[in-house]
Chains A and B, each alone.
Chain A
Amino acid sequence: MCGSDEGIASPDVPSREVLGTTDSPDVLEVLMEADRPQEILETLCQFADGHTEDEKARYVFRLICDEFLENIASYAYTSGNGPVYAAADARDGLRVILMDKGVPFNPLTDAKVPDVNLPLEEREVGGCGILISRKFAKRLEYRRIGDWNVTIAVIIEGSED
């Protein structure tokens, strides 16, 4: 699943230099079709579980990957399927990069967040994913690089965070 020094084996994935990753046993890169979110999720979580003993960090890692991968699978590609690139980086702390080539979407500004103060009977179904991702990630970042939506989540802060 890992590519060359220039990045994973796809011509238009941003380079490792741009993404801040590298060829290392502590970095896992995955490139799959978006309609396989569970497969991507389990691959990433298996890697994270092997790199941290912190049960809460494992839970949060799964939660954030799950939320973003399900959103990509459901909404990113309005006409069919498309690629998802994911990189889990455990060299210093733990972070994950999730990318798709779907419609431009900044989850930090474009997502509708529910009013948690409303009685449950008056709540709309949906919107909780970004809410809980924001709450439990140490940091969330969004970039648009070329045709890619790039979301970066820091789960365990490293020395430079």
Chain B
Amino acid sequence: MDFETTVEGTTVTVKASGKLDSIGAQEFSQATDGLSKGMKSIVLDFEDVSYVSSAGLRSVLKLKMGSKGVDLRIVKAGGMTAEIFRTAGFGSLLKDA
């Protein structure tokens, strides 16, 4: 996967692209490790994430658990990808839902 990270004040935005599968999930975890330090919100832009599996869900859940007190949002997730997040009970993270 590819990641583009932007910081504006206390908001960090990660624009991800590619497949958030078992390999992508490892890359996502590496890319977001320590990201929440000093931040009030994390925005995950998933417009270009073409696929998510349970490994990808786990990596997002781990980020959420490791970012206590930080607002975590997923934006622009596509149809099936958003549906998978909702099915797994992650709907509260979807800003566009």
**What is the interface of chain A, defined by CB distance below 8 A to chain B?**
37-38, 56, 59-60, 62-63, 66-67, 70, 114-118, 120-121, 123, 125-126, 128-129, 131-132, 135-136
Set B54, B64, B65: member contacting A132, Cβ < 8 A: B54
Interface residue? B61 (CB, 8 A): yes
- Max chain A Cβ within 10 angstroms of own Cβ: one of B23, B55, B57: B57
Interchain nearest-CB distance for A57 vs B (Å): 10
- Give chain A's interface secondary structure class: helix
Interface SS majority for chain B: helix
CB of B89 within 8 A of CB of A114, answer yes
Query: Is A131 a contact of B53 with CB atoms below 8 Å?
Result: no
> Please, how many residues of chain B have a CB less than 8 angstroms from a CB on the other chain?
23
Q: Is the CB of A38 within 8 A of B23?
A: yes
In the complex, B90 has a CB within 8 A of chain A:
yes
Q: Closest residue of chain B to A121, judged by CB? A: B65
Residues of B within 8 A of A131 (CB): 54, 87-88
- What separation, in Å, do the CA atoms of A126 and B51 have in the docked complex? 18
**B80, A56: Cβ atoms closer than 8 Å:** yes
- B54–A129 contact, CB under 8 A? yes
Closest to A118 in B: B89
